[in-house]
Structure 1
Amino acid sequence: MRSIAAVFAAALVLSGCQSVRDRFDGPQPNPGPCPNALSLYDAHRLVEFNGEERVLRNVGFTGEILNVRGACTYTDTRVSPIDMEMAIRFAFGRGAAAEGSEKTYYYFVAVTRTDSAVIEREVFPITVRFPPGENRVELTEEISSIVIPRAEATTSGANFEVIVGFELTPEQVEFNRSGLRFRVPVE
């Protein structure tokens, strides 16, 4: 008798939140996973040097991709695309050798087949203004629609990746691959 009363009480509590019809007639979950959204290790940070030596006093502007988040929706149309939204959190810095208080950075978003070929790649600018006395700025960029084509409706989002990174010179890529980091002294 107590278990019937507990079930009935739970049903009353739940009915105040949502009806059974709303629960089954509401938005349906995706039939498959979203593509992985990630930053490319070799391009997740940018360090500009003003001068030949790679030392802290020669660091100009810097940038780093802190986090990449994505959400997607499978659509049921003739070409059966996956529509993806992304949010990319950046941190930007102004070093001792930076000139000015504004910098335009460029980053890319590429849709790839997992561990394979690039399907599409687009470059975006982001202009950062450093307020007086500030040498670090964090921003989040949102991309509202990335269309990921699928050959058929049964192709899973797990077959794709959405990769982001900074547009870099060969020297900047080499610096990232070297693993070198600067530690700012704390006073």
Structure 2
Amino acid sequence: MRIILPILALALVAGCSSTKDLAESFDSRQNAGACPPVGSVYDAARIVEFGDNSDELYSDIRYTGEITDVRSFCRYTGDNPLTAEIEVDFAFGKGDQADSNEHDFGYWVAVTRRNGKVLAKEYYTVSAKFPGNAPLAGATQKIDRITIPRADETIAGSNFEILVGFDLTEEELAFNRAGKRFRMDAGS
């Protein structure tokens, strides 16, 4: 009986027009290549917003934000452009100078070649909501359709990158590049 069942299963599959047609009907084909690597840009993965006339002290913080994780899923379809979706996890903090229990942060998502050339860049907003005056919050945002422009089906997604970062002012970028850092849970 152990021998007959596998032979019977093979005969049933062989009776179909082809196993390739069967796989395509379920759209369960494996991707033709790797998905583009995703991640946050180190200099833009965090933001510290200070109140007016700040000396960059912990007590001067209005809000902080950090990109904590970026995940992706992609799908190859013939020689069409590669499509991807990403999820971005954020952590937020509210400091002594905060003026609301909600705050919006701007961020961007860029598609680049592996050599760093930016092919496309879109801007988004994520809202931090601090329930009950809590000092910490988090959010996850999903971006459904990112198009990776492949020249033809021989170009794999691994030739591209999807990068995420906060939309920073020159001062905020300089703060990050100087290696300065405040986290809202640093004082606890």
Class of the TM-score when normalised by the shorter of the 2 chains: 0.7 to 0.9
Moved more, 174-183 or 117-126: 174-183
SS at match of 1:132: helix
Unaligned runs of 5+ in 1: none
Superposition map of 1:19-30 within 5 A = 24=23, 26=26, 27-30=28-31
Q: Cα offset for 1:181?
A: 2.2
Given that residues 128 and 138 in structure 2 are in contact (C-alpha distance below 8 angstroms), is that contact kept between their aligned partners in structure 1? no
Q: Cα offset for 1:166?
A: 0.4
Distance 1:65-1:57 versus aligned 2 partners, 3 A rule: same
Q: List structure 1 runs of 4+ shifted beyond 3 angstroms.
A: 19-26
SS at match of 2:75: strand
2:37 aligned with 1:36: yes
1:160 is matched with 160
1:102 is matched with 102
Superposition map of 1:11-90 within 5 A = 24=23, 26=26, 27-50=28-51, 51-77=53-79, 80-90=80-90
- C-alpha separation in 2, matches of 1:23 and 1:42: 47
Residue deviations 1:34-80 (CA, integer Å, cap 9, x gap): 00111011100010111330110001111100000011001125xx2
Residue deviations 1:90-114 (CA, integer Å, cap 9, x gap): 0111111111111111110000011
- C-alpha separation in 2, matches of 1:120 and 1:66: 23
1:133 is matched with 133
Q: Cα offset for 1:23?
A: 8.2
Q: Which amino acid aligns with 1:161?
A: E
2:144 aligned with 1:144: yes
Unaligned runs of 5+ in 2: 14-18
Given that residues 48 and 182 in structure 2 are in contact (C-alpha distance below 8 angstroms), is that contact kept between their aligned partners in structure 1? no
- State the number of aligned residues: 174
Residue deviations 1:3-57 (CA, integer Å, cap 9, x gap): x96x889x6xxx8xxx966985541100100001110111000101113301100
Q: Please, what TM-score do these two structures have when normalized by structure 1?
A: 0.84
The CA RMSD measured in Å over matched residues stands at 2.4
SS at match of 2:43: helix
- C-alpha separation in 2, matches of 1:105 and 1:55: 21
Moved more, 123-132 or 91-100: 123-132
Distance 1:159-1:185 versus aligned 2 partners, 3 A rule: same
Q: Cα offset for 1:134?
A: 0.6
Fraction of identical pairs, as percent: 39
Distance 1:185-1:52 versus aligned 2 partners, 3 A rule: closer
Q: Please, what TM-score do these two structures have when normalized by structure 2?
A: 0.83
- C-alpha separation in 1, matches of 2:54 and 2:96: 15
2:106 aligned with 1:119: no
SS at match of 2:86: strand
